Amino acid sequence: SLLRRLASTTFLHLGRGGAKFHFCSGFSHAATWGSNRMTVLKQKPLFSTTASESASVSGIFISDAYDGGNIELVESTSGNDDELASVSLKIKSDPYTELEKKNHFQYFSFRSSVNAPGKVRYSVDNAGDASYAVAWDESTVFYSKSLNDPHSWMRKLDTTFHDGKLTWSHDHDSQGSMYFCYFPPFSYDRHLDLIEKCA
């Protein structure tokens, strides 16, 4: 339907300093409104549609192959008695913009699956090069076992931004998956429901 073609995605960032709304669209649109109709003039993807799934010898499986996922695995290492298992990541950039002559990037979201319980340290290594790097200061990464439950997201209070890297740790208390993101996504399905209610 036309509403589905025009749907965008809205994110709510609940930072330590309060709530901030972010609006991200999976498509770029220009439209004209008539008395009873709308004409779409342009529609093109804004974000890369390439999803990645990466396994490693550390027994940690990183994936962004879902609606809103965006991350790339750099490397991962197994833990031992002296060190935590670690995962190095980088945020994928948006397509190059002719207007600003650059590739923007800021938002990340990924699923981490482990084959055994244990504590893992995560690091987004290119956070300092993001479009608005100052936003990382005092921010908290969010995590949840349920991507589509808006009430399940919690903060990683040990999140730090230092030397251009955004880092946090998580104690995986069981085998399975956990989602991490910059701020909880307002899913595409929920957005379509909102459009239908407003139509």
How does pLDDT run across 91-112, given as a tens digit for each residue? 999 999 899 888 999 999 999 9
Q: Can you give the pTM of this predicted structure?
A: 0.71
pLDDT at 113 over 50: yes
Give the whole-angstrom CA distance, residue 48 versus residue 31: 23
Mean pLDDT score of the chain? 77
List strand residue ranges (DSSP E) for 115-175, in order. 118-124, 141-144, 154-156, 160-162, 165-172
Torsion angle of C-alpha atoms 92, 186, 159, 61, degrees rounded to 10: -60
> Confidence band (pLDDT; 50, 70, 90) for 136?
very high
Backbone angles phi, psi at 136, to 5 degrees: -75, -25
- Percent of the chain surpassing pLDDT 70: 70
Q: Which has the higher per-residue pLDDT, 162 or 41?
A: 162
Q: Is the dihedral of CA 125, 145, 66, 23 positive or negative?
A: negative
pLDDT of residue 32: 29
Non-local CB neighbours of 35 within 8 Å, separated by 6+ positions: none
> What average pLDDT does the segment 134-156 reach?
94
* pLDDT of residue 176 exceeding 60: yes
| pLDDT value for 53 | 63
Say if CB 70 and CB 11 are below 8 A apart: no
User: Stretch 172-190: mean pLDDT, rounded?
Assistant: 90
What confidence tens digit (pLDDT) does each residue in 61-93 have? 999 999 889 999 999 988 776 678 999 999 999
CB 108 within 8 A of CB 70: yes
pLDDT band at 23 (very low <50, low <70, confident <90, very high): very low
